[in-house]
Structure formats: structure tokens, C-alpha cells
Amino acid sequence: MIIHCERCETRFELDDARLDGGGLSVRCSHCKHSFWLDAPDASVADAVELAVSEALGPAPAVVEDLLGEPATELGGDENWEFAEPSGEPGDLEDCLGAADLFDAEALQGEVELESDAEPPTPEALSQDEFLAVPDALDELETAPVRLPDAQAAEPGEEDIEDALAALSAWKPEAEDPPQPTLPVQRERPTRVASPPLADRVEAPELAAGLARAGTLTGWMAVFFLIAVGLHAGIFAEARPRAALPQISELGGYRLSELRTRWIDNLYVGPLLVVSGRMLRVEAPRATPLELTLLDADGVPLGGRGAALGPALAPEVLRIAAPQEIRQRQAALAAEQAALDPGESRRFAAIFAAVPDAASKLRVRLLGE
């Protein structure tokens, strides 16, 4: 018995003997759905079986093995031959209407008769055809016959002579009369863009002068560029520099390794930076120091001095305001001077405005 799941429509085969009790609870193995299956009515089952048997029809009979005796008898017909024609009425020749239509000997005889055919006799010709025969014979008899001349020239010699005579007598002017034409320049034109080599050769003196002028111009350009480079790289940086003492001592301090350099500031332009090393020689009271500018005669120039503070990075000197730099150096001057005997430290003094007459530096106590 074939049953269908109520949920997933899956088909299953179930033994009818399991439904004898009136019904059975089954569960689908595919979707796990459980449902009650009633036993079919006996009358309904018999009706279904009867309908199926009628639809299928009676069972076919058993087919005997073809390898038995009947098959052996049928196998004897394999050795057969074509039957001779019986010649009875109704053959192919009768249908075509001629018994010798495909007779090779008859066809060959007909061909031979056609090849041996003689001209028609006067009796076989009609009146018009008979009258036309004498005229044709007269035309054949009256046609002139040209016999070969023994004294004639060889074939081809006469044609060659005629061709040579015609060629010698041919005049082009007769067939192509002169027509007015444009004047033709026979001489080769002179190339204006490229005169002869002799015309392009200049005088030796002029060529030598041009060469010297070109060389001189080149050297002048080189010297000019060198001068511009020197002015931009050297002379532009040649600002007034103070003559510094190599070693200076004051208040128990010794200053050494003194050097100056210029750094461009964002606000005031070039700043004079004096740097060196400060060494504590003795142990008196620690006092801050500063540098002042002097002229050639040793006279102090106007303006305040620069306190000896800690060394600053070039980046700070370029972007910081000069007033801020001065205040910072003055505030750190006392800390910079607080050294133990024998201890040294790097220092820097910054001047924002340097007079042209400044040529010397002097060390003094800060605030003197």
C-alpha cells in the first residue's frame, strides 16, 4: 500500500497486514510529522484491485524458445539463389512495349547502319530539294581554284618586306600635328637656399674673429655667474664681526672656544650669536656674566649687553622674537653661572642689533 505524508507529500510503502486492527499511527521519516492512517474498507480494496486487473488485461502467454525446431527450419532458407525469369506474360519487356529495347546487338546494328548511310537518291528527295541540288553542284564547279605559284616568295618574306616599307614611310608629324605647348626650361635652376660651397666659405679673418668673439662672450658669462655666486654666498653673509679674545677670565670664570655666527631671524633679520665654553676656575660667589660690544678704540657702544645663557637650538633662534630670547637668556644666566670649581658648560650670547663700528667684545658682570 502506498501512503502520502500530509505535510511534505513524501510517498511511502506500507504493508497492508499492519492495518488489520482498523488503523495505525505513522510518522514521516522525512519531516517527522505524525498522523493517523485508517484501514481501507474491504469493498473499496477489492474494487481497486479489480479495476487494476481490468486495466492491465490478461496475462500474456508463455513464449517458446526460438532456438528450437522452428528456428532450425527457418535457418535453412539462408542458402537461396535468384530465380530464372519465367518469360510469362506481364514481364518488364511487355510493360515497356519492346522486347529488344535493351538488346546490345540490336543497338550496335543500328549504329552501324547509321554510319554506313548513303546519300539520298533523287527519288527520295522532294521536288524543292531535288531542284536545289544542281545549283549547289554548279557553285562547287565554278569556284576558282588557286594553284600554288612556283615562283612565289617563301611564306612570311612578303609580309616582313611590307612591314619594313610601311615603317620607313611612317611620319609621326602627319598623325600628330604640332600643337602650341608651354615653354620648357632646359637649364637646371640654381638653388637659392643652398649656394655652392665656394660661396659659403667665409674669409679666414672673419671666421677667426667670430670664433674669438664667441669664446670671449662665453668666458664673460662664466665670470658673471661666478661673481653672482660669490656675492650671494659669501659677500651677502659678510656682516660686521667683533674681534673676540681667545681666552678671557673674570670673577673666577674662564671663557674659551669662542666663535660667532649669523642666524636669520623671522622678525629682525640676522642675529649675532656668540658661543663658547664657561669654566669655573675659583670658588668665589657665583655671578652671572654678559658680553658687551666695543669699537676699535675699546669704547663701549650704546645698547645693552647680552647675558651668557644656555645654548639654544638654531630653530628657536629663527622663529622666536628677539625680546623673548633676551628675557629667557637673562633669566637663565644665574643658573648658567652656578658651577662647581672645575666644572664647565656651553653658553650662548645673542645680539639682535649690531652697530657697524663694533669690532671687539668684552666680558663683564651682569648688571655692572
Q: Yes or no: say if 358 and 293 are a contact pair by the CB < 8 Å rule.
A: yes
- The pLDDT tens digits for 105-155 are 554 544 444 444 455 555 555 555 555 555 555 555 554 555 555 455 555
pLDDT band with cut points at 50, 70 and 90 for residue 336:
confident
What nine digits make up the cell of 348? 650662548
pLDDT at 319 over 80: yes
Q: Please report the pLDDT score of residue 264 as a whole number.
A: 92
Q: Please report the pLDDT score of residue 165 as a whole number.
A: 75
Short-list 243, 351, 360, 245, CA closest to 294? 360
pLDDT band with cut points at 50, 70 and 90 for residue 201:
very low
Q: Please report the pLDDT score of residue 263 as a whole number.
A: 92
Q: Which residues pair with 289 in a beta bridge?
A: 365
pLDDT band with cut points at 50, 70 and 90 for residue 318:
very high
> What percentage of the chain carries pLDDT values higher than 70?
52
- The pLDDT tens digits for 25-84 are 888 888 888 887 777 665 566 667 777 777 776 655 555 544 555 555 555 555 555 555
Length of the chain: 368
What nine digits make up the cell of 7? 505535510
